[in-house]
Structure 1
Amino acid sequence: MSDLALTARSLELLLGDWRGAGSAYEALADRVRLLILDGRIPVGTRLPAERDLAERLALSRTTVTAAYRHLREHGLVQSVRGSGSVARLPGAPAILPAPPAADYIDFSKAAPPALPWLADVARLAIDDLPGELGDAGFDPLGRPALRAVIADRYTARGLPTSPEQIMVTIGAQHAIALLSRAVISRGDRAIIEAPTYPHAYEALRAAGARLVPVAVAPHDAGAFGEGDETEALEQAIRHSNPSAAYLMPDFQNPTGRSMSVDQRERVTDAAARQGTVLIADETTGELDVDRAASYLPLAAYGPAIMVGSVGKTVWGGLRVGWIRADRPLISRLLAVRSPGDLGTPIIEQLLVTRLLEEHMDDILELRREQLRSGRDRLEALLADAFPEWHVPHVDGGIVTWIGLGAPVSSQLALAARREGLIVAAGPRFGIDGAFERFLRLPICYSPETTDAAVRALTRAWRSLMQAPMSEPEPELLASVV
């Protein structure tokens, strides 16, 4: 049984404006259900006692009891004698009862389909395998050929790099987790952008970090521009004395913004003066559609660790990523890595070596065209179906960060599930229930999938608008960016 426990106050913050038009117990249960499904309440977490939560939310205990019972009946809460009510995840059918004659469209995963020629390259990579069979096959650092190819690519992009500065990992998420354990001690502060990629801040938290969120200017920031964001980052670095900062300089997930040259120089300078380790996530860094300017990798402007992968360019099922760092840190990462895993699979490394060495230009050209088409189609569909929404015109990356005009993202995500569509609610990308006014949607899906997703989203929005929504509390509005 997990030691995690939510206080009534903590759950109240996560719930946000949960009250809807229906019965209170169903609305409460629905919001807790979404928090569990989205991972904001981790599996195994003990929920507050019914009496405590009822007092905190100004509800009758009968209402809270009914909500917990509803969650138990749907397999999302388990009552354990002596431990109270504990969050759990049943099998997928219990969580997501599919509507008749329809499959779920999963729009929560922002990742393009596999390359059309991936299987052909994989067969060729197998031909390279006999040359690797002379040792035990455990490879915590990465095959020399792949490390050289990755280093050469950084050099070609304007960041001179040697193979000794590269560690190959099991995807970018693995790289972020390794770095979190290597550079953060329990209780250290770590800066994150807000909103940001949720699994990154989860890795930082798992390493014991105390998170310091800094607001990110969206792609079309309006009154809140890059100067405000840069100043906020500099102040956070100076005043909170963080051990690390996790940033996405290019096509940030979920906002789509890219840092300017001035931002990159100022942030790397501030971090260097404070001794803060910058972790720059570049998993979408080369997915430029039609950005007006081009930028060097962040480490070309000042000290920074680079994280990359092929998950967003080649295929998410190919779990190969990397870390670019100075040699002493690479050595430290080897020591951190060995208790958890013994290396990246050899066959996948052979495949990625061929892809990076022989096909990367073709890959990026294909993705650029797919993303341009997907972006333009999604923007046109949303403009027609939701004229009241704000849909930014992103110039790269794989997602767009939609402004809904009202703090209803979680309610919309629940309504969309009932229409056969899974979307990630805005608060999934923040902490403590923020970003209820936003929704992240991917631009990397096929026309058929995108069309079907927008139709389902339209039905969900209409069903939501037909029911009168309560006004949010002033405290909630103040916390929403």
Structure 2
Amino acid sequence: MSVRHVSGTQLARLLGELPQERPFYAALARAVRGLVLNGRLPLRVRLPAERDLAAALGISRTTVTAAYDRLRDEGYVESRQGAGSWTALPRAERPAARQAVTRFGIAHTADGGWPHEEPVDLGCAAPAAPAVFDDAVAEAVAELPRHAAGPGYEPAGLVELREAVAARYTELGAPTRPDQIMVTTGAQQAISLLTQTLLDPGDAVLVERPTYPHALDAVRRRGARLVPVGVTGGWDLDLLAGSMRQAAVRMAYTIPDFQNPTGHLLDDAGRTALIEAARAADAFLVVDETFAELAHDPAAPRPRPVAAHDTGGRVISIGSASKLLWGGLRIGWIRATAPLVRRLAMARESVDIAGPVLEQLITWRLMPRIEDVRAERAATLTRNRDALVAALRELLPEWEFTVPDGGMTLWARLGAPVATSVAEAAWRHGVRVTPGPVFGVDGVLEDCLRLPYVLDPRTLRTAVERLARACHEAETAPIARPLPAYV
């Protein structure tokens, strides 16, 4: 298998416009170090030869040599005579084996205690039920007796719900038959079923960095190899395609719709390029559309589903009711070819036989109301997002972020690799927040935090006030022992 590498042209594009400070080699080294720390340049990737990067940047080879030397001294590059240089992390920054953490991404406070203030949960990105929920529940309960006469086991899901989901895909530009839909117990089961069915131990799986942590867990449980590609600044499709080919990936897992956690949205041209990259690598393309219906302007033009650009059955789509409709409605689905759906349904029978009938009926009754729910979510999330943005700009102006046009999360860059320290300090101040490394591989993303904005503006303001105190505490605290990694 080929060693993963990045060309001089690709690295120059990732670096962008370098600061014109002197000495220039130090600025170049700092920029490359930043790419490693924020995950845009993966670890253990071979760097371009010094002359190739010099040519791509239009600078002297001596300058690149000095930058590589500094990176080697700092531990961000490792080299072997005659074999080239690879990206790395300094040994002191590599995650140690550590204790279990809570579902919010951090453990107890350093002294084993808990904060005295009523905690604000910024570790959870899930909304309360919409206004139309009660009506849908009443209608579903009225429908339940019609199903009670049978066994209630439908491994692929209730026909009514499969028809409704297929109709929604067709409406959005991806013609779909009901036999191409399988209903699952949430999107997480969908991801687990796909990894168990399509992957063998040792297979390579391309993942975005940052990405949904439980997808990483599912791939790890299967014994597959993670191949991360950074998307902090958006998708570099040329780099992504090269990574697919070089690592000979079997599957790529992507979140092109208001990506979790960055909020980025991939356009139609990018979606076509993504499919071409998967086709060139002969890989399955698993597309997580959990946030796809959560545009903050529901009337704005939206890209078509990735499956609408696919003509070869390579795209497998995952959807969920939990973000748009309600977090407690544990209903998801897979859109794939009919033969793969049948195969997945058979695999599912050894796990939980079938999904809950009542929850499927509730989701089915909510589907005709989806535009009303989208409008309600858009109004609430836009209000909350704007409140969070205003509080951050006032109280933590040094933090950087892109204001998302959809989804439920804001990805904040702190300017220093202190995210885990800030998260632990925040918990002592009564805020649960998830640090960047939870969403990545190899311990990078320590300069980022994910901040959901599903809570009301007043609560979000309180959370940011506590985060500001926690950030000050983390910045002024002495250097602590290495912190445990997310497992």
Where do residues 6-17 of structure 1 align in structure 2 (5 Å cutoff)? Answer: 16=93
Find the counterpart in structure 2 of residue 314 from structure 1.
325
CA distance in 2, matches of 1:316, 1:128: 22
The offset of 1:462, in angstroms, is 2.2
- Once residues 324 and 290 of structure 1 are traced to their aligned partners in structure 2, the CA distance between those partners, rounded to angstroms, is 26
1:162 paired to 2:170? no
Q: Which residue of 2 is the match for residue 343 of structure 1?
A: 354
Deviations 1:395-442 (A, max 9, x none): 111101101000000000000010111100110000121100101001
Aligned counterpart, 1:423: 433
Q: Report the CA distance between 1:452 and its aligned residue.
A: 1.9
Aligned to 2:271: 264
Q: Which residue of structure 1 lines up, in the alignment, with residue 285 of structure 2?
A: 278
Identity of aligned residues (%): 40
2: CA distance, partners of 1:340 / 1:15: 41
Q: Secondary structure at the match of 2:101?
A: helix
Q: Is the 8 A contact 1:167 1:330 kept in 2?
A: yes
Q: Mean alpha-carbon deviation: is it higher for 171-180 or for 454-463? A: 454-463
Choose from 404, 411, 418 the match for 1:401. Answer: 411
Relative to structure 1, is the Cα distance of residues 14 and 178 closer, same or farther in structure 2, using a 3 angstrom cutoff? farther
Name which of 334, 343, 347 aligns with 1:332.
Answer: 343
1:469-480 to 2 correspondences below 5 Å: none
Greater mean deviation of Cα atoms: 444-453 or 200-209: 444-453
* 2:146 counterpart of 1:135: no
**1:105-158 alpha-carbon deviations (Å, 9 max, x no partner):** 111011122223323321221001111012111221111111000000000000
User: In structure 2, the residue corresponding to 1:448 is in which secondary structure?
Assistant: helix
1:191 partnered with 2:206 = yes
Deviation at 1:253, TM superposition (A): 0.5
The answer on whether the counterparts of 2:155 and 2:346 sit within 8 Å (CA) in structure 1 is: no
- C-alpha displacement of 1:449: 2.0
Secondary structure at 1:270 match in 2: helix
Number of equivalenced pairs: 390
Q: Which residue of 1 aligns with 2:78?
A: none
Q: Are residues 1:373 and 2:380 paired?
A: no
- Gap change, CA 1:96 and 1:167, over 3 Å in 2: farther
CA distance in 2, matches of 1:249, 1:324: 16
Contact 2:209/2:229 (<8 A) preserved: yes
Q: What TM-score, normalized to structure 2?
A: 0.75
- TM-superposed CA distance for 1:40, in Å, is 8.0
- What's the CA shift string for 1:240-259, capped at 9, x where partnerless? 11111100011100111111
CA distance in 2, matches of 1:341, 1:187: 26
* 8 Å contact from structure 1 (residues 401, 440) kept in 2: yes
Alignment match, 2:81: none
Which residue of 2 is the match for residue 55 of structure 1? none
Cα deviation for residue 459 of structure 1 reads 1.8
8 Å contact 2:127–2:454 — kept in the other structure?
yes
The equivalent of 1:58 in structure 2 is none
Q: Could you tell me whether the CA contact under 8 Å between 1:38 and 1:424 is conserved in 2?
A: no
- Structure 1 residues 16 and 356, CA, compared in 2 at 3 Å: closer, same or farther? same
* Structure 1 SS opposite 2:260: coil
Which residue number corresponds to residue 304 of structure 2?
A: 296
After superposition, what is the alpha-carbon deviation per residue over 1:307-354, rounded to whole angstroms, capped at 9, x for unaligned? Answer: 001100111101000000001101110221111111110000110000
Contact 2:104 2:123 in 1 (8 A): no
Number of the residue aligned with 1:476: none
* Structure 1 residue 299 displacement after superposition: 0.9
Task: Supply the distance in 1 between the matched residues of 2:463 and 2:365 (Cα, whole angstroms).
Answer: 35
In 2, the alpha carbon distance for the partners of 1:300 and 1:188 equals 27
Q: Distance in 1 between matches of 2:394 and 2:105?
A: 32
Match of 2:225 in 1: 210
Contact 1:96–1:417 (CA<8 Å) still a contact in 2? no
Match of 2:442 in 1: 432
Kept in 1: contact 2:275–2:285 (CA 8 A): yes
1:460 correspondence with 2:470: yes
TM-aligned CA distance change 1:351 to 1:158, over 3 Å: same
Contact 1:14 1:433 in 2 (8 A): no
Change (3 A) 1:15 1:425: farther
The amino acid of 2:239's aligned partner reads A
CA distance in 2, matches of 1:405, 1:200: 27
Report the AA paired with residue 102 of structure 2: L
Task: Give unpaired runs (5+ residues) of structure 1.
Answer: 1-11, 19-27, 42-70, 77-93, 473-481
* Match of residue 410, structure 1, among 420, 425, 448: 420
Other-structure match for 1:97:
114
Match of 2:216 in 1: 201
Equivalent-residue separation in structure 1 for 2:170 and 2:413 (angstroms)? 38
Matched-pair contact (CA < 8 Å) for 2:105–2:123: no
Q: Tell me, in whole angstroms, the C-alpha distance in 1 between the residues paired with 2:472 and 2:328.
A: 35
For residues 39 and 242 of structure 1, do their structure 2 counterparts lie closer, same or farther at Cα, with a shift above 3 Å needed? Answer: farther
Instruction: Give the C-alpha shift of residue 450 in structure 1.
Output: 0.9
Q: Secondary structure at the match of 1:259?
A: coil
Distance 1:439 1:39, change over 3 A: closer
Whether 1:387 and 2:397 are equivalent positions in the alignment is yes
Assess, with a 3 A threshold, how the Cα gap between structure 1 residues 454 and 383 changes in structure 2: closer, same or farther: same
Paired residue secondary structure (2:450): strand
CA distance in 2, matches of 1:122, 1:16: 50
Identify the residue that residue 3 of structure 1 maps to in structure 2. Answer: none
Q: CA RMSD for the aligned pairs?
A: 2.7
Q: Distance in 1 between matches of 2:199 and 2:243?
A: 17
| Partner residue, 2:35 | none
Rounded Cα–Cα distance in structure 2 between residues aligned with 1:215 and 1:97: 35
Distance 1:370 1:126 in 2: 28
Correspondences of 1:18-37 after superposition (within 5 Å): 32=98, 36-37=101-102
> 1:84-106 CA distances to partner (integer Å, 9 max, x unpaired)?
xxxxxxxxxx966241xx32211
